Structure 1
Amino acid sequence: MRFLMIASYADSLIAFRGPLIAALQDKGLEVHIAAPDLPAGHQVRAALESRGVVVHHVPLQRTGMNPLADARTLLALHRLMRRVRPACVMSYTIKPVIYGMLAGWLARVPRRFALITGLGYAFREDSGRSRLRAVVQRLYALALSRAHTTFFQNPDDEALFRRAQILPAGKRSCIVNGSGVDVASFEVAPLPDDGPRFLLIARLLGDKGVREYAEAARRIRARGAGARFSLVGWIDASPDAIAQDELDAWVADGTVDFLGRLSDVRPAIAGCNVYVLPSYGEGTPRSVLEAMAMGRPIITTDAPGCRETVVDGDNGLLVPVKSVGALEQAMMQLIEDWEQVVRMGQRSRQIAESKYDVRKVNAVMLREMGFE
């Protein structure tokens, strides 16, 4: 039996979907991957093929709304499915979901599954995005009407899709606890005791709260608190991307220690004693799950996806979206109370094991897709 997974971003296949791919193979499925930017010799392609995965290149632009380019994507996916003849197709992120579900329906793939990993730039509340949001919602509704099950990573996103009738009435949906985290690979690391050490890992986008993080860091440094603020990530191709000169200014004045893009974030997490993600909304943030598994308290926003990971006052602190003052206050609270940092870090690990273990998350997905 052949299973086709469609993605828009090559690096997510190993980092986010690797355990699911392995679980599907363990069930005896022949796994195929369709994604852009995976030429022969690409590191991710080589890693997938070494695991017995069949990789297919498809033309797909992650950002932008170019009708001709998107039509080529739909046609390419349809042709691929007619050739491969998968029994199941699953796609995640906006364009793979939209064009993957439509192509799967046209190619008469027997089972079709969509995974909503977050709402993305088009759904943010901004008057300048209303037209884009309307177009994306219509396309989503058309595509999800062709899916057999739509997976969500938090209840807020599911409720929004139901309320806005993006997910048609009567269509099946299932909430899973994010992409999960391999709690064996992300082991507890001792908390550094040489002063407050904060960390944010994210694509450098405004919607990730990177600017709020930098401003809160600047204010706390001005207090003379002796804290350090690390930033891991890269400037992504997005209308919402942080400008290079902004990043350069933060580094030049010592606001943040920029560590760049890391293939392995575990040393960075081990080097912090508090993890921060001031995002405007997520599916379920993978970086938070990794930090929780390594025993770190979390400061994040009371926003969809983010709020699911933190019990306020238990394993971390929740702050309002876009509130630099509240973020600064939360950071200062943990700077001034080391015992709370230790206790919250221990609770984070316990929650990661009980709720977010990738094996438990994948078991739910496999069962819903009919493989258990």
Structure 2
Amino acid sequence: MPDTRSQRPRLLFVVTEDWAFLRHRLPMARAALDMGLEVAVATRVSDHGDAIRALGITVFHTPVERAGLSPLGDLRYLVRLIGILRRFRPQLIHNVAAKPILYGTLAARLAARGAAVINAFTGLGILFTDDGGRRRSLKSRSLGGLLMAALRGLCRHRRVHMLVQNDDDRAFLARQGIGHAQRTHLIPGSGVDLTQFPATPEPPAPPIRAVLVGRLLKTKGVTEFAEAARLLKGLGRDIRMVLVGAPDPGNPTTVTREQIDTWVSEGLVDWDGERDDIAAVWAGAHIAVLPSYREGLPKSLLEAAASARPLVATDVPGCRALVRDGENGLLVPAQNAAALAEAIDRLAADGELRRAYGAAARADVEARLSQAKIGAAIQALYGQVLDDPSLPSAPSRS
């Protein structure tokens, strides 16, 4: 029998880590599969390669260092991507985050000149934000400048599209001259499965449980979360501050295990580690917290909102795209533990306000951020990009 895949347009995701693909890009991949595309991903394979392959997605193991520049390592990464493009011959390349965007776009120019490229900026990362202190380092500023200069050149081509998750990032790219306004698209995240994350009633209280879910990074505001816990403890509040997640040694802003153990020993936070049952986490929480320095569209708050939990977050790009101050949660200044503690304390003391904010959060997700709505938007974008008559036809398999 003929291989029907030979006539299907091919989509290649370029993502740094297999766990990140499963956690954040899988709804997009499923939307592509549902519209008849053949899908592959170039990523570092750790523990999740088989789970991805089981979905009918081809996996190319592509090791890469996420942080910083390593001339030899980055050259090897570029060469691997060129080889994958020549082997898989995609019509569409979807690069996610800084290093895949840089080298994936360059590889496309060198080895897949006819293919279309979508560069997905999932928040602008540590090259463009505070690195966990009050100022970005000279090295970080220099790398950010080099990256932006390279992107200005690589993203001018008419087949290169930009994909952002919030208006702040779209405005930033426009100010920096990266991409073209007519080829810059906004889709807020990957959506949330409303059946997997149903609206649930609050658990009994006291204590009130204020929960932060995510990688334990300084740039996620984990330090401010612990300091807010210290302030609330000093006030004698019966509020349990809970961290759900793990350090990320591959990220230079990671919080160390020793620091977490210190906070736990001081009675400031409970640490649940990594959990797969995030719906159960939010069912057992009263308040969702994310004091991040910058986001794309934060998945943890999206899932908390679907679960009808009030949101406390920082007034920064990404977070303010989801949290409307005084409607579904509270916004506070970034890197301000006192303001964070005050917002948590306010919601902890007012159950009626928590429930009102939680209901509004759920309604917002139902209206515009469900997985079904975002999946349809992704399919429309892929269809628009692939409709370019100058794109090459899907090659036949030999």
Q: Does 2:19 match 1:11?
A: yes
Task: Select the residue among 124, 129, 149 that pairs with 2:129.
Answer: 124
What corresponds to 1:205 in structure 2?
217
Cα distance in 1 for residues equivalent to 2:114 and 2:194: 34
Please, what TM-score do these two structures have when normalized by structure 2?
0.89
1:274·1:298 contact (CA, 8 Å) conserved in 2? yes
Deviation at 1:170, TM superposition (A): 5.5
What corresponds to 1:25 in structure 2?
33
Task: Select the residue among 275, 278, 283 that pairs with 2:288.
Answer: 275
Q: Percent identity?
A: 36
Show CA shifts across 1:71-92 (max 9, x none).
1111111111111111111110
Describe the shift of the 1:89–1:209 C-alpha distance in structure 2 as closer, same or farther (beyond 3 A): same
- Local SS of the residue matching 2:275: coil
Counterparts of residues 27-176 of structure 1 (less than 5 Å): 27-38=35-46, 42=47, 44-107=48-111, 108-125=113-130, 126-128=135-137, 129-146=140-157, 148-165=160-177, 167-169=178-180, 172-176=183-187
1:153·1:284 contact (CA, 8 Å) conserved in 2? yes
What corresponds to 2:243 in structure 1?
231
- Ranges of 4+ aligned residues in structure 1 off by more than 3 Å: 168-171
Deviation at 1:148, TM superposition (A): 2.3
Q: Does 2:193 match 1:182?
A: yes
Cα distance in 1 for residues equivalent to 2:121 and 2:14: 13
Show CA shifts across 1:103-135 (max 9, x none).
112222421111110111111143412212212
Q: What amino acid does structure 2 have at the position aligned with 1:265?
A: I
Describe the shift of the 1:137–1:265 C-alpha distance in structure 2 as closer, same or farther (beyond 3 A): same
2:241·2:268 contact (CA, 8 Å) conserved in 1? yes
Task: Select the residue among 247, 252, 272 that pairs with 2:265.
Answer: 252
Please, what TM-score do these two structures have when normalized by structure 1?
0.95
Q: What amino acid does structure 2 have at the position aligned with 1:11?
A: W
Q: Does 2:338 match 1:347?
A: no
2:35·2:379 contact (CA, 8 Å) conserved in 1? no
Cα distance in 2 for residues equivalent to 1:182 and 1:15: 13
Cα distance in 1 for residues equivalent to 2:325 and 2:126: 27
1:7·1:92 contact (CA, 8 Å) conserved in 2? yes
2:160·2:179 contact (CA, 8 Å) conserved in 1? no
1:89·1:109 contact (CA, 8 Å) conserved in 2? no
Higher RCO, Cα 8 Å, sep 6+: 2
Show CA shifts across 1:304-332 (max 9, x none).
01001111111100001111111111111
Show CA shifts across 1:247-269 (max 9, x none).
11101111111001112322211
Cα distance in 1 for residues equivalent to 2:188 and 2:75: 33
1:86·1:109 contact (CA, 8 Å) conserved in 2? no
